[in-house]
Structure formats: structure tokens, C-alpha cells
Structure 1
Amino acid sequence: MPTVDDVAQAAGVSRQTVSNVLNSPEIVREATRQRVLEAISSLGYRPHASARRLRTRKSATIGVRIDPWRDGISGAVLDRFLHKLTEHADARGLRVMVFSAADPDDELARIRRLREGSDVDAFVLTATTHGDERIRALTEQGVPFVAFGRPWDPETSAVRHRWVDVDGRAGVAGAVRHLREQGARRVGWIGWPHGSGTGDERRAGWEAACGVDADARAALARHVEDGVTEGSRAAAELLALPEPPDAIVCASDSLALGAMIAARTAGRPALPVVGFDDTPVAAAVGLSSIEQPLDDVVAAALDLLFGPAGDDVRPNPSSDEEPTDRLLAPRLVERRPGHLALDAIPGT
């Protein structure tokens, strides 16, 4: 591994000048600073993280709560997000600390303790909700954070903070339009109960693109808790209608897998079904799904929190900082069913 001395020799400067460029760049002449940075880049030098943490009195650590375990299908999305976050953070010389919490109040208490112990510099919030109390509390306390999930109501939107999200409405609308272009005329919807910001937004995409009147939309939609069994039951109801759907779009891959099972049971194994999140199960059974660009989500979150390629946390945004949010586009991954027999999937 290259050392500070190697960088100094390559740039033709002293060891102290290299240290100044890394820790107090404002005192170094621009031409010299650029020469040192070029040497750092060409050699692939990385400052010793432990020494830097002791010197700056910063932990270089990002905290993120692990959501309570659900099922292995929907839970895969957070797992992939955490892996991406860890990879991108490591490239910046940062660490990720995961912690559990029973509810938002417990999460805020854990964050307070981690901050008091100087264990974590900044946080990533996940699973934002209507009236999310975490956003207001962390803003008022001056705790640096970025949310994976937008504010879902005017009250939370009024609290200026950084967030990154995926445009679920656009993703679902695009999938519905694609199905209609392929000949579908009655595209059904299986989503979550009303009140979920993410679920309501995805349903809005279906409503905007399905091309049927309000009565038909009411007949073609079902709202259930997330799960394979619930998705199968809801799809069976839709397929038993006098005018059943000729395609189904779902708010998650769990629901979509259930819909695939119901379609096979009803003698319609070729019924187009689209899920959301593009989980490994979707790939295994040949389920079309809407993919969230998690690499881009993580990169945008870290850019907002630390600046482009930086590792020094930024304070919460001031009134004139722009931009403070990023809304990213998902994409439809189209597959043919049958890559793996449905009865080979645990729990089906």
C-alpha cells in the first residue's frame, strides 16, 4: 500500500504538505494542492482511517436501523440496500453501523445514545411514513441525516431535510402502459391498504395509466397486507370476476408471486403479472418486476450527506441549499414465467 512518503516523493513536496492537503487544504497553494491530489489519485493512496478518526474526533460512521424482519421476499430489498450502502461507504473510507429498534421512539432514543457516545456521525432513515416524527426530531436536534423515502404529507414536507426516493408512481404507470401496448385491456391492481405513502403512490401510477373508468377501477383493485398468501387470495377474487383482468400489477413481489400462483390455479399460467422491487425470487420464477436503482439511491444519499466523493458529514441543509432531494426513475424488468417451478419456492 502506498504511504504518505510515497505521495510526497511523487508530488515533489514534503510529508507535512501532503498532511496539510489532506487535513487543511485551505492553507496550501492551489497548484501544489492539485499536484498532491494527482499523486494521491495515481498511487491509489488512502489515508489511514483509524488515525484520521483519532485526529478529527469523528467516527466516520453512518448509522442505519434494521427494520423488523418480515418475509424473505420483501425483506430482500432492505438487505440489498444495506449491502450497497456498505460498499459505497467503504469506497469513501466510511463505515456503516446497523442497529435495531422496536418503533420510531426507540429509534430516536438509540440515535441519541449513539450521538452522545460519538459512535456515529450521521444517519440514514428508511421506511418514511406520513407525519414521520423522526424527521422533525432529528432536524430540531441538528443530527445530520438523509432519508431513503420522501416526505408524504405537507407537514413533513415543510421540514427542510435531505431525502432520496424512487418514483414508484412513474414505475407502475410505465409497466401498465407497457401491458396495454401488448394488448391488455383490463389491468388489475393488488396493493397495500390505504395510508401507506409508498403503496398509495404506486396505486396512483396504476390509476393514471389503466385507462378505465372509476367503476371499473374499483372492481379491478384489491388492497391487502403484504404477503404471498394475501396476494394469491386477492388475485383469485379478481380472476373470478365476470370480467376478469387480462394482466395484474402488484405493489410488491410478494403479492405478485401470490398472483402468479392464483393464475396457475385458475388455469391461466400465461397471465402477465408484474411485481415491484425485482427481488431474487422474481428472477428465479420468471416474474416481471419493477427494479429500484439501489446503486443510484445510495450514491445520491451519500452525495447529499457528504458532498461528491467526500467523507466529512455536512450539517443539515440551510434555507438556500439546493438540491436537497433526488427522485430516481425505476425500470421494468420483463421476464417469461417458468424459470423455476412455483412449488419449489418455500412458503408457496
Structure 2
Amino acid sequence: MGAQPTVSDVAGVAGVSRQTVSNVLNAPELVRPETRERVQAAIHSLGYRPHASARRLRTQKSSTIGIRLDPITQDGISGSILDRFLHALTEQADRQGLRMLLFTADGPEGEIEQFRRLSDAADVDAFVLTSTFHGDPRTEWLIENGQSFVTFGRPWGIDDMTDPEHLWVDVDGRAGVRDATLHLLSRGARRIGFLGWPSGSGTGDDRRAGWREAMRQGSGLSEEELRLLDIAAEDAVPFGAEAVRRLELQAGPLDGLVCASDSLALGALTATGGRIPVIGYDDTPVAASLGFSSVAQQLDEVAAGVLELLTGTHGGRVRRGDDVADPRHRLVAPRLVVRDSPALFGGGAASERSVSSNRMSKNS
């Protein structure tokens, strides 16, 4: 049996955009009568059958949201952020009478197969995606097949801030790392290194940009000096430790270090022996228990934003050309948690305070 026709197939035959096909299926009043007739003729000729389950969340006839359960990370540190997000999302969904359906998959293609299976069986009404990346094939499949979905993470690599093809919620990592770097600068540090991920990660590059912005603003260092203070490593404690040793060899003595994750921060602490202040990212239980500073993602706000986009005016879909006033995105401000006495090297109980304001910006 051949592949089922998709929204893109219908759009090609009718000579219209995919969004126009979606409008004919879900909001026909937005489409001119002659265009609507052309799309309906293409639907009939191809035998296209939209999934009923993709429309039910908007009409509140069903109540199940699918989300992939990510595999456990090697060090068990950074992966905890997605576990905490899932807990917050499930808790808030339950209060709204919604259910979460968890599934596993090996890689993006395996996740797409799960989308197909669950939507064909009408087991779920919408999906939540995590860990978005450049050229993510999952979102393309969901758009082409008319599925309702929201991503935790921006659609990296496209015009994500103004008119993307899907709805998203994200944490402003650039602002979080900028705040962390400015905090160290305000305490007299000047030669502040950045320990990040290899380039090409949308999230990692965004966090690196925050460090560079703050350093250009307040360090007085040259671009060449900043280049030497920037180093990348895979996201694991041993790689972080090794990278910091290389960083000190290439850049000389450091006054402080800002890291793209708590895994890298823990590696940096083991390499430096607590000689310099180190700030991580994600504020995992490891950061709290060992007492080092970290940038906290506001996961309750992220979960609330995801559910707003799934169940509110948009119903999990972007409809180009509509007059819906509700913004299509939520960008959540993180919070810097400062701890002054890391217990990792014999310090006492770490004092803790928050730096930076709480806000959620909505981008249309």
C-alpha cells in the first residue's frame, strides 16, 4: 500500500500553501470560496484524509498529549532538567483535566514513527517536543500531517522569532548566561572564561552569545583575548574538567568561569579545585547539593506556556493570515541562583540568593 497523501501533496495539486490547506480543513471561513473549492477538489482527487485526532484538542473533545520520554543521560545531571519539565507539565495538565501519554524512541526518525502510530490510532490529540535542533525533521512531519504541537525549544535555524511554522516556548538562555557573567564582573572578575558546547547547537550557541555580550560590555578585553577564553566540550563531567585544563593553558589564569550546563560546571570545579568562582546552568539538584551557583530555568512557567498554546486560542497550530491576537511564543526569563560557599571543597552550608527578575515575554 502506498504512502498516505499529506498536506504538502494537497497543497502542490491545488497550487496553494500548506497553511491554506490547513485553513480549508480547520477554518474554511478564512479562505476565499474559489480557493476553497480548488483545495477541496485536490483533497477529493488524492483521497487525503485528515486525522480527526489532530483537531480534537482545539474543540476540547479529548484530553491526551503525547511526549517522548528522553533517555537517561550518561552522567544523570543535565538530563534531570527534562525530567523536571515533564513533572511540571504533567502536574499542570492534570489540574486542567488533561492526560499525558509517554513514549520512547531511538532518535528523531524513531520519534516520527511514534507520531505516526499514535496519530493513526487516535491515541493523542497533540504532541509536545523537547530538545529542538537545526533542521529538526520532527516538526516538518507534524506540520505536513496537520498535527497540533508545541515545542519546548525554539525552531533553531529558521526565522524563529517572528513568523515560524509552529508554536514554541523557550527559556532565554542568552539572558541567563549574560546575567551570570555580569554578576562575576560586578564582583571584580575580569578574565572570565566560557565553557560551552561545540558550535552548531542552537541552545549552546545562544548561551555563548550571552557570555560574549556581557564580556564585550564589561571586561575591557580584546576580541582576541575573548577568543582565547572560549572553549567547548561535550556535555559530561570528565570532558568539562579536561577542557578547563586546556583553557588555562591557552588563556592563562582565570578569574572565573561560566558554563553551559551543570555537568560542565562540575567538571570545571574538579579541575580548578575551587580556586575560582564557577557558575553552571540548569540549577540541577547537583548544583544545589554541592553549593555552586547556577542559572535556573523556570520550568513551571515553561509548562504553563506550553499548555496555553495547546489549549488556548491557537490550539497547537499556527494559522498564517489569521487575526488571532494571542502571541505564538513564550520566552521565559531564567533566574540566577547565587551560592557563595561551594561544599565540594570543604565549604560550609552555602548561602543562596536569586539574582535577576521574573518575567515571561510573549512574541507574536
* TM-score interval, normalised by the smaller of the two chains: 0.7 to 0.9
> Residue in 1 aligned with 2:234?
225
Shift of 1:68: 2.5
- CA distance change for structure 1 residues 300 and 87 in 2, over 3 Å: closer, same or farther? same
Provide the C-alpha distance between the structure 2 equivalents of 1:129 and 1:57, rounded to a whole number of angstroms. Answer: 30
> Residue in 2 aligned with 1:273?
278
Provide the C-alpha distance between the structure 1 equivalents of 2:222 and 2:158, rounded to a whole number of angstroms. Answer: 29
Deviating more after overlay: 235-244 vs 79-88: 235-244
Note if 1:248 corresponds to 2:253.
Answer: no
**Gapped regions of structure 2 (runs ≥ 5):** 1-55, 347-364
Shift of 1:240: 3.8
Provide the C-alpha distance between the structure 2 equivalents of 1:227 and 1:166, rounded to a whole number of angstroms. Answer: 22
Instruction: State which of 197, 201, 204 in structure 2 corresponds to 1:196.
Output: 201
Aligned-pair RMSD on alpha carbons? 2.1
Note if 1:67 corresponds to 2:76.
Answer: no
1:285-324 pair list within 5 angstroms: 285-307=290-312, 314=315, 316-319=317-320, 320=322, 321=324, 322-324=326-328
Shift of 1:301: 0.6
Provide the C-alpha distance between the structure 2 equivalents of 1:207 and 1:315, rounded to a whole number of angstroms. Answer: 35
1:122-161 pair list within 5 angstroms: 122-154=126-158, 159-161=164-166
2:178–2:213 contact (8 Å) kept in structure 1: yes
Q: Secondary structure at the match of 1:154?
A: coil
- CA distance change for structure 1 residues 57 and 147 in 2, over 3 Å: closer, same or farther? closer
Provide the C-alpha distance between the structure 2 equivalents of 1:200 and 1:304, rounded to a whole number of angstroms. Answer: 26
The percentage of aligned residue pairs carrying the same residue is 52
> Residue in 2 aligned with 1:283?
288
Q: Secondary structure at the match of 2:339?
A: coil
Shift of 1:198: 0.2
Provide the C-alpha distance between the structure 2 equivalents of 1:136 and 1:149, rounded to a whole number of angstroms. Answer: 15
Shift of 1:251: 0.3
Note if 1:186 corresponds to 2:191.
Answer: yes
Amino acid at match of 2:280: G
> Residue in 1 aligned with 2:362?
none
Shift of 1:341: 5.4
- CA distance change for structure 1 residues 317 and 242 in 2, over 3 Å: closer, same or farther? closer
Amino acid at match of 2:147: V
Per-residue Cα deviation, 1:205-246 (whole angstroms, up to 9, x for no partner): 111111322211121111110011011111122234563210
Shift of 1:338: 3.1
Amino acid at match of 1:243: G
**Gapped regions of structure 1 (runs ≥ 5):** 1-52, 343-348
1:142–1:315 contact (8 Å) kept in structure 2: no
Provide the C-alpha distance between the structure 2 equivalents of 1:242 and 1:102, rounded to a whole number of angstroms. Answer: 40
Shift of 1:288: 0.3
Provide the C-alpha distance between the structure 1 equivalents of 2:342 and 2:292, rounded to a whole number of angstroms. Answer: 8
2:309–2:316 contact (8 Å) kept in structure 1: no
Amino acid at match of 1:220: L
Report the structure number with the largest CA radius of gyration.
1
Provide the C-alpha distance between the structure 1 equivalents of 2:93 and 2:68, rounded to a whole number of angstroms. Answer: 16
1:136–1:156 contact (8 Å) kept in structure 2: no
Provide the C-alpha distance between the structure 2 equivalents of 1:254 and 1:326, rounded to a whole number of angstroms. Answer: 27
Amino acid at match of 2:338: E
TM-score (norm 1): 0.76
Per-residue Cα deviation, 1:323-348 (whole angstroms, up to 9, x for no partner): 11111110100002433559xxxxxx
- CA distance change for structure 1 residues 61 and 132 in 2, over 3 Å: closer, same or farther? same
Note if 1:105 corresponds to 2:109.
Answer: yes
Amino acid at match of 1:225: E
How many residue pairs align between the two structures?
Answer: 280
2:131–2:153 contact (8 Å) kept in structure 1: yes
Per-residue Cα deviation, 1:59-88 (whole angstroms, up to 9, x for no partner): 411110122221210111011011001100
Provide the C-alpha distance between the structure 2 equivalents of 1:341 and 1:118, rounded to a whole number of angstroms. Answer: 54
Provide the C-alpha distance between the structure 2 equivalents of 1:337 and 1:59, rounded to a whole number of angstroms. Answer: 50
Provide the C-alpha distance between the structure 1 equivalents of 2:165 and 2:76, rounded to a whole number of angstroms. Answer: 34
Q: Secondary structure at the match of 1:194?
A: coil
> Residue in 2 aligned with 1:79?
83
Per-residue Cα deviation, 1:94-143 (whole angstroms, up to 9, x for no partner): 11111111111111110111111111111100000001111121112110
Provide the C-alpha distance between the structure 2 equivalents of 1:173 and 1:304, rounded to a whole number of angstroms. Answer: 28
Amino acid at match of 1:166: V
1:136–1:159 contact (8 Å) kept in structure 2: no
> Residue in 2 aligned with 1:238?
247
TM-score (norm 2): 0.73
- CA distance change for structure 1 residues 109 and 155 in 2, over 3 Å: closer, same or farther? farther
Q: Secondary structure at the match of 1:152?
A: coil
Q: Secondary structure at the match of 1:210?
A: helix
> Residue in 2 aligned with 1:257?
266
2:167–2:316 contact (8 Å) kept in structure 1: no
